[in-house]
Structure 1
Amino acid sequence: METPPFSELGLPDSLLAAVESLGFERPSPIQALSIPPALEGRDLIGLSQTGSGKTAAFTLPMLAKLDLDRFEPQALVLCPTRELANQVCEDIHRLGSKVATLRAVPVYGGAPIDRQLRALRQGAHVVVGTPGRVLDHLRRGSLQPGAIRMVVLDEADRMLDMGFRDEMEDLLADLPDDRQTLFFSATMNRAVSQLIERFGREPQTIKIEQKAKTVSSIDQCCYEVRQRSKVEVLSRLLDIEPSRLSIVFCNTKRSVDEATEALLARGYAVDRLHGDITQQMRERVLKRFRDRTIDVLVATDVAARGLDIDEIDLVINYDLPQDPEDYVHRIGRTGRAGRSGRAVSFVFGRDLHRLETIERYTRQPVRRERVPSQEQVEGRMADRLFEQLKERLGEGKFESYADQLDRLLEQGFTPTDVVSALISMLRDESGRDFNEIQEDHEEPGQRRGRQQRERREPRERGPKREHSTGPVDNSNMTPLFLSLGKQHGVKVGEIIGMLYNESGIPQGSIGHVKLFFKHSRVDVDAKVADQLIGAMKSVKYRNKPFVLDHDKGPR
């Protein structure tokens, strides 16, 4: 749909200046339809896919209605994960860059609570967080809800799917009755509609039709790659199939910086885009990318918004996105204007389960491949060198070095010896040092197949079900006792989501989960077991305390 300019939506000049500085010319459909009624104080239900610009749809009217002279929470944004909470908080600061004294604070499990307590004591206009930690601050009294006039439930369906229903209901019940509530969700299921029916005030529904998932024309594959091997595998892919333009997507700014620095050190023409890059620098980087001064761009999803270049041949998911819509949005950058496109994803551990979700969502298989070996890369580079030499000879565009060749022949070298030595020198000059990685010795799907067998075997032996979050090295695992079981209505997915989201332990740290009637056993990487136990002491499941401790045998 054709949307009006931001200047016609009723936003103040400071926000229009920030939007202009970020390079957004016109609002997306969800923004154009949501901002005016939100400014009027209406409750909203925004049904829109990820990547459609919904963060700005609620952030801009939220910032417009803040009383910046009052340093107390006036707006609350609830998110399903710490990653999204951080991203939303960053977007709030970007969109509020021209708003003096604006303070927005992220709060979530797995981060030091004393730092969050200090930030809240210093005064914040906006609080962004996960339901469990926000409720914890509310109960502690560190978050005073009296001045909150707007509440946003970002990705309400995901929060409900992750088992946050009780926390969300408790939070909404404790907030002022005269608040404005904005519900944003990709889907409208029964749980979401029940929540809206209970806490919404005649909300206006805004539905943006989902774009077609046009990924069938893109060649999609994945490699099982550990975090420490990603730079080496990325380098091999860039060497083995040099594309005219490639985009490497990362989930965090830190990952973008680390990948970019590593590629620069290896001699690749690469630059970066993320939320800390200024608008002036962003324009400079994009111009270099379009002009092919650089041929690899490393970016986050947020920074890549508005990037419209048809000549991108390769998209690499250095980090697999959390949401299938983000995956579709990323790989849709290639294969445009009738061109062929290729999308590669690095996966490991719990990523394999997310990849299966992506395949179901897109209804397209993602081919599993083995990491290119050093020999394959060197062979392909040698083939390219041969083709370049053959092309130069065919064109006849080269100077004659007959005198130098005659001198070498007089010393007893054959023409074959001379050409072989020159090609060897060229290969040495254009080649690079390879790093030996564990993936060189594994077949594609080897770990995944073993994991699938491990999941099947317990069901064949008896009624106890065993679950896993993905292929992990069980030799480093230690069992933990969790005082939640089948009688509490607990689900394995909820346990896993709660442990990761509230503790901040690295992905892949949780192994098998055995669910019993009164309790559960959780296998956890021994290096983070104590961190996980400590982080969960103040956490509640459905508003009920529980025990997580080292498994000391029968209880």
Structure 2
Amino acid sequence: MKFTEFNLKQPILDSLQELGFEAPTPIQQQALPVALEGRDMIGQAQTGTGKTAAFGLPILNKLDDSNKSVQALVVAPTRELAIQVQEELFRLGKGQRARVYVVYGGSPIGKQLERLRTNRPQIVVGTPGRILDLIKRKALKLQDLQTLVLDEADEMLNMGFIEDVKAIVEETPENRQTLMFSATMSPAIKSLSKQFLKEPTQIRIEAKEMTADLIEQHFIKCRDDEKFDILTRLIDVQNPTQAIIFCRTKKRVDEVTRGLGLRGYNAECIHGDIVQQKRTSVINTFRKGQLEILVATDVAARGLDISGVTHVYNYDITQDPESYVHRIGRTGRAGNDGVSITFVTPMEMPYLRTIEHLTRKEMMPMKPPTVQEAQAGQIQQLIDQANEMLESGQAAQHFNTAKLLLQHYPANDLVAALLSQLISDNSQVQVAISPQRPLPNANKKEAKRSGNRSGSRQGGGKGYKAGKSDRSRRYDDKAGKKEGSHKAYKIKKRQA
């Protein structure tokens, strides 16, 4: 099936072609015919399934350029999701120059009042509280509204926004079209649909479609006080291009981010207590690929759509199974492979089985990397960096110095001396390979023994797929040693 089969306006088809969208996703295939006919609809779908286009394309298709009033309103639970929806609608409507504006709390309301007055947007996206505030100030007028979208309705219900949503609905025309989307279909959501929608068509994406087949799902059984060291070893061994670490509380997010920063990782965090300007800046930096690790709560990361995320680490198991589906959906996007690893304490194992039952996919147990494996991974990163420097010519200025040193010392001795400064040989200490990371310790005694050495992590290259080395690893039970302990590193030979 192709988008050309839906009788969309040519400027919209041109935008879809420019964005590289060829075939509609399952939710789009089911939702577009219903929404384009003007009927009310309730859709069960996760973020990342393409639901923004499922309601956005019909909105754009029936925009009246001669009408300067607000013709569509999209209500979203969080600022991040609202911003993302606005950006997506702007891209989809670029061909017809659709005017889309986003409003949310945490941003000066004066600026938003001025933009609504002067820009006269056709589509407004926003959070419930700010939308209701603008309506009460008579800055947001909905008398000509054609379409109302309630996105992530279950999340708005969980966050206590439903009274604001009801107040917003009361300000909209009776003849509007209403589209509601929810990740779950609880009795409360069904009750709301009866209040807001008229004879709605119900669309559902099955659970097997909610969890992408391209995502490898693993779990590591460990104590809570072991999680951080295991996390850093995983990052060093897997070397993710971009990763999101999910924590249950804002305090835990701060602790993990601070710990990663002390060890020299390129990590930032987002949660509800961080000012909106900072959150927006962090997300934009992450989206551009300039930030390697994002630590977040479930609510703050709701709706994040970043195709470069290769790994999701569930530092704390989710509070409900549906949130797990949302978390792992941050990776494996746009047809790419993804890896999800969940840390589970022994007491949480029964709950893990509940999540597996919901997702219809068994999580594979994964053995935590050893310190030696993390060290080997960091050595490979160091080699990758050296290869990049040699290929780029950055090292050319040091060739004469290198020749002079080689006249006095064997090459092996020089390399060993360099590695001894960059990598610790203490088996109880987490290793580091570059000059800015304070060497992490397993405990205070080890810290005193290891001294005040430092290193920094600037890994490049691709990480291995999670679990692959664990499945292929063989052990000698009697000796307690791994067979084939020698590590083969990939070193490129310089061409003469």
* TM-score, structure 1 as length reference: 0.53
Confirm whether residue 159 of structure 1 aligns to residue 156 of structure 2: yes
TM-superposed deviation, 1:366: 10
Structure 1 counterpart SS, 2:139: coil
Contact 2:32/2:58 (8 A) holds in 1: yes
Return the match for 2:18 from 17, 21, 24.
21
| Cα distance between partner residues in 2 of 1:336 and 1:236 | 24
Confirm whether residue 116 of structure 1 aligns to residue 144 of structure 2: no
Structure 1 counterpart SS, 2:65: coil
Contact 1:38/1:58 (8 A) holds in 2: yes
CA distance change for structure 1 residues 380 and 175 in 2, over 3 Å: closer, same or farther? closer
Kindly provide the CA deviation profile for residues 227-284 of structure 1, in whole angstroms up to 9, marking residues without a partner as x. Answer: xxx9x9999755x3256x7443598674463684466xxxxxx9xxxxxxxxxxxxxx
> What's the counterpart of residue 200 of structure 1?
197
CA distance change for structure 1 residues 317 and 335 in 2, over 3 Å: closer, same or farther? farther
Confirm whether residue 209 of structure 1 aligns to residue 206 of structure 2: yes
Taking only aligned residues, the RMSD between alpha carbons, in angstroms, comes to 4.9
Contact 2:234/2:368 (8 A) holds in 1: no
> What's the counterpart of residue 486 of structure 1?
none
Kindly provide the CA deviation profile for residues 121-163 of structure 1, in whole angstroms up to 9, marking residues without a partner as x. Answer: 1211111112222111111111111111110111112212222
CA distance change for structure 1 residues 360 and 9 in 2, over 3 Å: closer, same or farther? same
Confirm whether residue 183 of structure 1 aligns to residue 180 of structure 2: yes
Structure 2 counterpart SS, 1:211: helix
Letter in 2 for 1:218: Q
> What's the counterpart of residue 420 of structure 1?
413
> What's the counterpart of residue 89 of structure 1?
86
Contact 1:315/1:333 (8 A) holds in 2: no
Return the match for 1:79 from 65, 76, 80.
76
CA distance change for structure 1 residues 437 and 81 in 2, over 3 Å: closer, same or farther? farther
> What's the counterpart of residue 433 of structure 1?
435
| Cα distance between partner residues in 1 of 2:170 and 2:311 | 45
Contact 2:12/2:93 (8 A) holds in 1: yes
TM-superposed deviation, 1:427: 6.7
CA distance change for structure 1 residues 116 and 216 in 2, over 3 Å: closer, same or farther? closer
Q: Following superposition of structure 1 onto structure 2, how do residues 20-59 of structure 1 map, counting pairs within 5 Å?
A: 20-59=17-56
CA distance change for structure 1 residues 70 and 302 in 2, over 3 Å: closer, same or farther? same
TM-superposed deviation, 1:189: 2.0
Kindly provide the CA deviation profile for residues 481-528 of structure 1, in whole angstroms up to 9, marking residues without a partner as x. Answer: xxxxxxxxxxxxxxxxxxxxxxxxxxxxxxxxxxxxxxxxxxxxxxxx
| Cα distance between partner residues in 2 of 1:256 and 1:224 | 34
CA distance change for structure 1 residues 334 and 86 in 2, over 3 Å: closer, same or farther? closer
CA distance change for structure 1 residues 255 and 366 in 2, over 3 Å: closer, same or farther? farther
> What's the counterpart of residue 172 of structure 1?
169
> What's the counterpart of residue 248 of structure 1?
243
Contact 1:107/1:134 (8 A) holds in 2: yes
Kindly provide the CA deviation profile for residues 292-324 of structure 1, in whole angstroms up to 9, marking residues without a partner as x. Answer: xxxxxxxx95342xx8xxxx9x62459999943
Letter in 2 for 1:329: G
| Cα distance between partner residues in 2 of 1:59 and 1:30 | 12
TM-superposed deviation, 1:25: 0.8
| Cα distance between partner residues in 2 of 1:409 and 1:95 | 60
Confirm whether residue 327 of structure 1 aligns to residue 327 of structure 2: yes
TM-superposed deviation, 1:422: 3.7
> What's the counterpart of residue 98 of structure 1?
95
Aligned residues with identical type, % of pairs: 35
Contact 1:334/1:342 (8 A) holds in 2: no
Contact 1:75/1:151 (8 A) holds in 2: yes
| Cα distance between partner residues in 2 of 1:70 and 1:92 | 18
> What's the counterpart of residue 130 of structure 2?
133
> What's the counterpart of residue 302 of structure 1?
305
| Cα distance between partner residues in 1 of 2:74 and 2:370 | 44
| Cα distance between partner residues in 1 of 2:8 and 2:48 | 22
Contact 2:215/2:339 (8 A) holds in 1: no
Kindly provide the CA deviation profile for residues 406-459 of structure 1, in whole angstroms up to 9, marking residues without a partner as x. Answer: x99999x8xxx76333432467699411422889769xxxxxxxxxxxxxxxxx
Contact 2:219/2:366 (8 A) holds in 1: no
Letter in 1 for 2:243: V
Q: Following superposition of structure 1 onto structure 2, how do residues 243-322 of structure 1 map, counting pairs within 5 Å?
A: 246-249=241-244, 254-255=282-283, 257=285, 260-261=289-290, 302-304=305-307, 315-316=311-312
Structure 2 counterpart SS, 1:241: helix
Contact 1:131/1:168 (8 A) holds in 2: yes
> What's the counterpart of residue 67 of structure 1?
64
Structure 1 counterpart SS, 2:188: helix
Unaligned runs of 5+ in 2: 246-269, 271-279, 294-302, 345-351, 384-403, 424-432, 445-496
| Cα distance between partner residues in 2 of 1:48 and 1:203 | 16
Contact 1:47/1:184 (8 A) holds in 2: yes
| Cα distance between partner residues in 1 of 2:35 and 2:328 | 29
| Count of aligned positions | 354
Letter in 2 for 1:190: P
Letter in 1 for 2:207: Q
Letter in 2 for 1:113: I
